[in-house]
Structure 1
């Protein structure tokens, strides 16, 4: 994934490489865009404790 992030950044895209990849992005409740549109799951309390501080990223 690091190479993919570098390739996209080289093309001018803003990229973020997340530790844990797509699995943790989904488990932390971030929206995911797929072929059926944008979906979002509730945050998993084991990876993003409910009621914790957020960074508003």
Structure 2
């Protein structure tokens, strides 16, 4: 609608399937400022070290 074209569901699925991890990484870097990132743990945290290790792998890989 916003692009003056009606997309069929299969066209939308094709576009979604074309997205790769590099595309996602570019968008994430544009949106998030990792120098100002804060993380809050909510609930019971039984293995704090493992959670922090996994978060570092995700955020800094």
TM-score between both structures, scaled by the size of structure 1? 0.20
- Which is higher, the Rg of structure 1 or of structure 2? 2
User: Which one scores higher on RCO, CA 8 angstroms, separation ≥ 6?
Assistant: 1
TM-score by length of 2: 0.20
| Larger helix proportion of the pair | 2
